[in-house]
Structure 1
Amino acid sequence: MTMRYLMAVWDGGGATPPNLGIARLLVERGHDVVVCGDPTLADAIAGTGASHRTWPTAPQRRSTALDDDLFKDWECRTQMGALNRVRERLITGPAARFANDVVDALDAEHFDAVLADGVLLGALVGAEARGIPSAALVGSVYLVPSRTRPPVGLGLGPARGRLGRARDRAAYGLVTLMSDAGLRPVNAARARHGLAPLRHLWQQWDHADRVLVLTGSAFDDPPPDAANVRYVGPVLEDIPVDEPLELPRGDAPLVVVGLSSSYMEQEDLLRRIARALATLPVRGVITTGPAVDPADVPSAPNVVVVRAAAHRALIPQAALVITHAGHGTLIKALAAGVPVLCIPLGRDQGENASRAARHGVGAVLSKQADVAAIASAVFDVLLEPSYREAAAAMGERIRAEIASGALVDELEALAAAGHPAA
């Protein structure tokens, strides 16, 4: 039975490919998919076989130029300031505009389900307003406040004993209070469409039929306490890459480097990594992403620098992946059983890096680390077998979760509930 899905996405760098992978998966299953997303995603969406529509009124990125970046979070002096800017400019501030655009789309034609990137709370409001089954797509670890999980941002491990559980309950109250600073525009959007107000911001996820967490359940622990959350494994999608890639010659261990596909002032760190790899008996492939010119990063006989590469094909050949700990690059490495060296730059990356360290699949360095420290860390991870063994074990569990078909089952069950014949 053919189902019709409306997807609500945004150009979020590494957060985007998993959503587009879901569109591709549904099209390959014979379903019709319409994706509302930024003009910058037009070619990538077309490549999935889905139909693309730009947002009629909601904010969106018009080009890949830095001036068109919605957040410019590199301008913020603190991590909290950067998070507040993302909240105000995407998650809560434009909630009414996203809700209106989704409602208009649902009023214009029939859809069986709405799949929205989890940060687009307004899109979820629109689906709820029209009574269409909906899922929040979470392409990362579970980051919203939970009474059963450590507070976000501190890199803490799961609670142990009564004191640990008390810590998590207290932190839940504090983090919820902070996130509720953005509640007013979301409740205004809900009121406009006849919905009761939320008490807390992230209760909007509780109103979705499903919250689908696109990561390995073994990587993200402990599970949250929300009844509608399902771990369905990652979607290992790449943005299409046209550039040919020739690996450095030889059979030395391959080190793959990827530090965010969006701009995070990563140029200097990329240069330090390049210089570190040039001193080691390894082969290096550095991908700079669209925001950094490869010419600004020094190559070497054993180090190739390119703007982009198909990570899904390249990473399984690697002995080590150096990453900013963005979820996309990190989970591709772990799914391939490859250990990691995490150098978080901001956003959710500290949380991902702390999990990598806790599970023993990699090491973590400061973004201020110098060339010698980076070279030493690369050498240590390559030589210590426990990292490879832990990454291999984690990879087996992640691949099994992907192969289980849990994601497809959830997506099709969701749409079946909204299908007229159901």
Structure 2
Amino acid sequence: MSTFLFTLVDGGGNVPAQLAIARRLAGRGHTVHVLADRVLADAVESAGCRFLTWTCAPQHNMRDRAADTVRDWEPSSPPAQLRRIGEQVMFGPASRYARDVLDAIDRTTPQALAVDCLLFGAMAAAERSRLPAATLFHYPFHAPVEGFTPLGFGLKPARSVLGRARDAVMLGLARRVFAFGLPPLNEARVALGLPPVAFVFEQLLRLPRALVLTSREYDFVPSGLPAHVRYVGPQLDDPSWPEPWSSPWPDDAGEPLVLVSLGSTYQRQDEAFRRIVEALGALPVRGLATLGSLAAPSWAPPPNVRLVASARHASVLPHASAVVCHGGHGTVLKSLAHGLPVLVMPFGRDQKDNGARVEACGAGLVTSPRASTQRIASDLRRLLEEGGFREAARRMAEVIARDVREDRAVAEMEALASTLPAASP
């Protein structure tokens, strides 16, 4: 058996995806340490892993609006939101994350490492260690290689000279937007004895493996995908904290069930959530709307809609007919895994890009977070009445089921660990 070290930050949907792999490795008899924020201690231990916490690096809790120190929802412009995440998590504390990772390696002597793609300092430390290591991409692939589709804009793949020119412009824009992250990242790299990089996202490809936690058929796979980048399929575990759902409606209720899930972290969803609930009230459906990070509203929902703090997706989705969500990768892939059409309302981060992929595979629609109640109702009616959306979602469900069966994520991590001799028991 081998020893693994995972490094993880509490960023919302990234957590259950990566802990799913750690859990299955632990279930196979391996020793798995997870270096993460203190708020994740119970989730880590529930997964059968051994918890370590950051001591030099900052502590984060993005699920709690009051405790959230990143607060990327405060700036109004997407570049400012990205800068906030970069300064607080990705690049600003790079040296501090690197020190903690090297200390954890000394304490746990792992055969292999798994590093959250949000933690650039942790990736640099893994590179310095020369241990077998993988960067885990918990949303669509976004490293700058030939033929990649720039992330963050909800773009479709380039199909022409004009499209390739568009991508070149977007890449140049990304270089400028993330230029602030280069000094702290390179400071960490130089302190580790590593050469500086010219663009922060070069760091994403410098470990022996990059594992993309989604289905290849879902993503826009670049033509120049490096050989060490592997698509290993989505990780469909729910977080440990939502409650299992029990339907308040009779078993023979005839109206279709629509789930509303706008994420576990706050992104100013309040008004959009209200309009979605109003739209459900205008349709012949049953609506289940999860509040997530939102406070209980002062307004009353329509009679056909139930508001709950949270609900475990695995217990709701088998009964649902459609999903309205923010476009978080985990929620989208879980919905598609159940063959459900999705209405994506993106608020930031990777959500526009997931929406673009949902539309490209024909399994749903994208609408603005400023969409009117009438527009939301119209889009939902299309998803429920036009069979093509459900057919496309069912095709994607077959792909996802295959990926789940093959479990390439665990196979890749075990293969990495096997390149070093196992520690003595």
Asked whether the two chains share a fold, i.e. TM above 0.5, the reply is yes
Equivalent position SS for 2:362: coil
In structure 2, distance between residues paired with 1:279 and 1:226: 49
1:227 Cα shift? 2.9
User: Residue type of the partner of 2:75?
Assistant: C
2:384 to 373, 376, 382: 382
Is contact 2:245–2:315 with CA below 8 Å preserved after alignment? no
1:118 Cα shift? 0.6
Is contact 1:259–1:266 with CA below 8 Å preserved after alignment? yes
1:295 Cα shift? 4.5
Residues 254-293 of structure 1, C-alpha deviations (whole Å, 9 max, x = no match): 101100100011122111111211221111111111x213
Q: 1:61 to 1:178 in 2, by over 3 A?
A: closer
1:60 Cα shift? 1.4
1:371 to 358, 365, 373: 373
Equivalent position SS for 2:316: helix
The corresponding residue for 1:28 is: 27
In structure 2, distance between residues paired with 1:415 and 1:247: 47
% of aligned pairs identical? 40
Is contact 1:3–1:31 with CA below 8 Å preserved after alignment? yes
Is contact 1:341–1:364 with CA below 8 Å preserved after alignment? yes
The corresponding residue for 2:393 is: 391
The corresponding residue for 1:273 is: 276
1:94 Cα shift? 0.3
1:42 aligns with 2:41: yes
1:288 aligns with 2:291: yes
In structure 1, distance between residues paired with 2:411 and 2:393: 27
Aligned length: 420
Please give the residue correspondences for 1:95-174 in structure 2 after superposition, counting only pairs within 5 Å. 95-174=94-173
Is contact 1:39–1:63 with CA below 8 Å preserved after alignment? no
Is contact 2:233–2:407 with CA below 8 Å preserved after alignment? no
The corresponding residue for 1:255 is: 258
The corresponding residue for 1:246 is: 247
TM-score by length of 1: 0.94
User: Residue type of the partner of 2:273?
Assistant: L
User: Residue type of the partner of 1:388?
Assistant: R
The corresponding residue for 2:411 is: 409
User: Residue type of the partner of 1:283?
Assistant: R
1:89 aligns with 2:88: yes
Please give the residue correspondences for 1:162-311 in structure 2 after superposition, counting only pairs within 5 Å. 162-223=161-222, 225-240=225-240, 241-242=242-243, 244-249=245-250, 250-289=253-292, 291-296=293-298, 298-311=300-313
Is contact 1:339–1:391 with CA below 8 Å preserved after alignment? yes
1:154 Cα shift? 3.0
1:62 Cα shift? 5.6
Q: 1:313 to 1:246 in 2, by over 3 A?
A: closer
Cα RMSD (Å):
1.9
Is contact 1:148–1:169 with CA below 8 Å preserved after alignment? no
Residues 365-389 of structure 1, C-alpha deviations (whole Å, 9 max, x = no match): 1111122221111111100111011
Is contact 2:91–2:120 with CA below 8 Å preserved after alignment? yes
Q: 1:259 to 1:66 in 2, by over 3 A?
A: same
In structure 1, distance between residues paired with 2:63 and 2:325: 22
TM-score by length of 2: 0.94
Q: Which runs of 5+ in 1 are unaligned?
A: none
In structure 1, distance between residues paired with 2:379 and 2:248: 22
Is contact 2:11–2:62 with CA below 8 Å preserved after alignment? no
1:50 Cα shift? 0.5
User: Residue type of the partner of 1:7?
Assistant: F
Q: 1:111 to 1:397 in 2, by over 3 A?
A: same
Is contact 2:94–2:122 with CA below 8 Å preserved after alignment? yes
Residues 36-84 of structure 1, C-alpha deviations (whole Å, 9 max, x = no match): 1111111111110111111111111268542321311121020110001
